[in-house]
Amino acid sequence: MQNVVNSLAVFAFLGMVIALFAISALLRIVRELQQAVISALAAVSGPETVRRVARFASSDGRPTFVLVVSEQCPSCRARAVHLAGMPSGQVGGHLVLLAAAEACAAWVEAAPHVEAVVDADLLGSVAVGATPSLVKYAPDGAEEWRRVVGSDPDLDRLLGVDLPESSNVR
């Protein structure tokens, strides 16, 4: 009887080893498929897939910086207030605050150099993954880059604003 139990234990152990090899092979196949999808997306993401938003095109040749915010986000409010507090002309481009709620427009209403755009459909077409995010559009309305903005110095750096000499943020 003891021999039967020992044999079953050995077979169970061998079954576990075989199952681990099978899972390892399955995970390798999944990784290969993920790499293939990433490679395919990279091959497709050429100039023809650049997002263009005619609303953010400018006729004066300057880029448009769009700060995308959400009403429920405290960090969004802080970034919007900081953006509104920047002196006019300090940024080499147009400043736009994009939100889906009217309450967000109130954060920058005192700043005439920041245009508040409240449009849920446009916000959906811009499609940022996290807020607050800064999206830079070329003068023709083509998206150049997008970044999540974590702090006021981060926003200054992305906008190309000169930081004071005493600042240790670079």
CATH superfamily of 54-159: Glutaredoxin (3.40.30.10)
User: Among all chains, which residue has been given the structure tokens 């409240």?
Assistant: 118
pLDDT of residue 166: 44
Confidence of residue 162 (pLDDT cuts 50, 70, 90): low
pLDDT of residue 45: 52
Closest among 126, 159, 158 to 142, alpha carbons compared: 126
Hey, where are the domains in the chain? 2-47, 54-159
What's the whole-number mean pLDDT along residues 97-122?
A: 88
pLDDT of residue 112: 87
Residue 52 in 3-state DSSP?
strand
Task: Report the chain's mean pLDDT, rounded to a whole number.
Answer: 84
- Dihedral angle sign, alpha carbons of residues 47, 48, 50, 52: positive
